[in-house]
């Protein structure tokens, strides 16, 4: 198993290097950052000074090597817009995003698993119909629309929750962004719980457990749910990546000061150092999360062994 894990680690590093090259190229091929940084009517002389200052006058491969050399030392360069170390900028915003994502993940699981279980147990009942319609909506509603609707109804009309911002870290500011961000995640968790519950319920060992005379509760929780949750762990890793992507839109709508908003702002401003830092950190985070999930997987499902004799 350790051999497999080392190989996976090696793959992960290659993926990260690949990402760094793609990000580097794309962000530089789409326009001159100086032109976005200064006024439309700034003189060419001033532009040239700035270009030199940010090393944008060097050829691309040189810029890339320079970038990687510094990145390994934790120096991702200075933000063009803020003229601050871009790693600092990103780290300042990172806790807000991590909070939002943890909240969203837990919140989705908290609602999705019971919905999935009950829908599976009472298959084709009214609850199942409502539950699945609900999840279907969750999956198909565009998140920006959901966000704006929440703001208009919950925020403006009923004034139950604050509309935007961070509120110094108050929980009430996370709820609407989390619902917006988590709708898709919750829906797919619920559907997967339901379908894998259905699958497991028809297994022989569940019949055996029932035949042994175990209470229905024990059968469901210990024998069925445990096995039904394995696919959830698998897609958890995928959803962390999805949520990171979704955070870009959600944070923008709710003016929630995380790295998603910083990312989109940096893209508008062609702030290369910040874009690179965010993408690098996020991709390292996602690759790492999936790596951890691979490990967790072997623990929760003893049938899975990565090391196979050739």
Site string for another protein, 195-224 (x = CB under 8 A): ---------------------------x--
Judged by CB under 8 A, the chain residues 67 through 96 that form the site for another protein are: 81-84, 89, 92-93, 96
Q: Does 1 contact another protein by CB under 8 A?
A: no
Identify the residue among 66, 106, 136, 205 touching another protein (CB under 8 A). Answer: 106
Identify the residue among 15, 94, 148, 235 touching another protein (CB under 8 A). Answer: 148
Q: Does 160 contact another protein by CB under 8 A?
A: no
Identify the residue among 70, 133, 172, 215 touching another protein (CB under 8 A). Answer: 172
Q: Is the Cβ–Cβ distance between 117 and 197 less than 8 Å?
A: yes
How many residues are recorded in the chain? 310
Of residues 43 and 308, the one with the C-beta less far from another protein: 43
* Window of 169-177, 189-197, 210-218, 275-283 that interacts with another protein by CB under 8 A: 169-177
Q: Does 303 contact another protein by CB under 8 A?
A: no
Of residues 237 and 258, the one with the C-beta less far from another protein: 258
Q: How far apart are the first and last CA of the chain?
A: 13
- Tell me, what DSSP letter sits at residue 159? -
Q: Compute the distance between CA of residue 177 and CA of residue 90 in angstroms, rounded to an integer.
A: 20
Number of C-beta neighbours around residue 254 at 10 A: 27
| Residue found by looking up tokens 């944070």 in the block | 251
**Who contacts 214 (Cβ-Cβ below 8 Å, separation ≥6)?**
223
Question: Shortest distance, CB of residue 120 to another protein, whole angstroms?
Answer: 19
Q: Does 47 contact another protein by CB under 8 A?
A: yes
Q: Does 55 contact another protein by CB under 8 A?
A: no
Q: Is the Cβ–Cβ distance between 11 and 17 less than 8 Å?
A: no
Q: Compute the distance between CA of residue 169 and CA of residue 171 in angstroms, rounded to an integer.
A: 6
Question: Shortest distance, CB of residue 309 to another protein, whole angstroms?
Answer: 26
Q: Compute the distance between CA of residue 144 and CA of residue 18 in angstroms, rounded to an integer.
A: 31
| Residue found by looking up tokens 């990172």 in the block | 94
Q: Does 230 contact another protein by CB under 8 A?
A: no
Q: Does 254 contact another protein by CB under 8 A?
A: yes
Q: Is the Cβ–Cβ distance between 36 and 269 less than 8 Å?
A: yes
Identify the residue among 4, 64, 127, 166 touching another protein (CB under 8 A). Answer: 166
Q: Compute the distance between CA of residue 73 and CA of residue 253 in angstroms, rounded to an integer.
A: 34
Question: Shortest distance, CB of residue 127 to another protein, whole angstroms?
Answer: 24
Identify the residue among 140, 167, 216, 292 touching another protein (CB under 8 A). Answer: 167
Q: Is the Cβ–Cβ distance between 248 and 267 less than 8 Å?
A: no
Q: CA triplet 72, 24, 34: central angle to 5 degrees?
A: 110
Question: Shortest distance, CB of residue 237 to another protein, whole angstroms?
Answer: 16
Q: Collapsing DSSP states into helix, strand and coil, what is residue 268?
A: helix
Residues that bind another protein (CB under 8 A): 30-32, 35-47, 49-50, 53, 81-84, 89, 92-93, 96, 99, 102-103, 106, 148, 151-152, 155-156, 159, 162-172, 222, 252-255, 257-258, 261-262, 264-265, 270, 300
């Amino acid at each position: 198993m350790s051999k497999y894990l080392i190989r996976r680690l090696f793959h992960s590093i290659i993926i990260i290097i690949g990402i760094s090259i793609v990000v580097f190229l794309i962000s530089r091929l789409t326009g001159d950052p100086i032109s976005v940084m200064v006024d439309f009517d700034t003189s060419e002389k001033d532009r040239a000074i700035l270009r030199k200052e940010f090393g944008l006058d060097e050829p691309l491969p040189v810029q890339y090597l320079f970038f990687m050399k510094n990145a390994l030392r934790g120096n991702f360069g200075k933000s063009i817009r803020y003229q601050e170390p871009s790693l600092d900028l990103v780290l300042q915003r990172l806790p807000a995003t991590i909070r939002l994502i943890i909240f969203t993940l837990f919140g989705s699981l908290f609602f999705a698993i019971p919905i999935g279980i009950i829908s599976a147990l009472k298959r084709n009942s009214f609850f199942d119909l409502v539950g699945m319609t609900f999840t279907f909506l969750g999956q198909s509603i565009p998140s920006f629309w959901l966000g704006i609707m929440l703001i208009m109804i919950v925020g403006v009309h009923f004034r139950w929750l604050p509309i935007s911002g961070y509120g110094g870290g108050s929980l009430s500011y996370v709820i609407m962004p989390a619902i917006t961000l988590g709708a898709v995640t919750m829906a797919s968790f619920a559907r997967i719980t339901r379908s894998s519950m259905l699958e497991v319920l028809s297994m022989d060992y569940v019949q055996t457990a029932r035949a042994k005379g175990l209470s229905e509760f024990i059968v469901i929780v210990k024998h069925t749910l445990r096995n039904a949750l394995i696919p959830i762990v698998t897609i958890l890793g995928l959803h962390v990546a999805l949520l990171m992507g979704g955070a870009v839109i959600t944070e923008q709508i709710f003016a929630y000061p995380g790295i998603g908003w910083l990312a989109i702002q940096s893209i508008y401003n062609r702030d290369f150092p910040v874009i690179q830092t965010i993408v690098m950190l996020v991709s390292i985070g996602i690759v790492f999360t999936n790596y951890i999930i691979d490990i967790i997987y072997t623990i929760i499902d003893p049938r899975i062994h990565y090391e196979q004799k050739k």
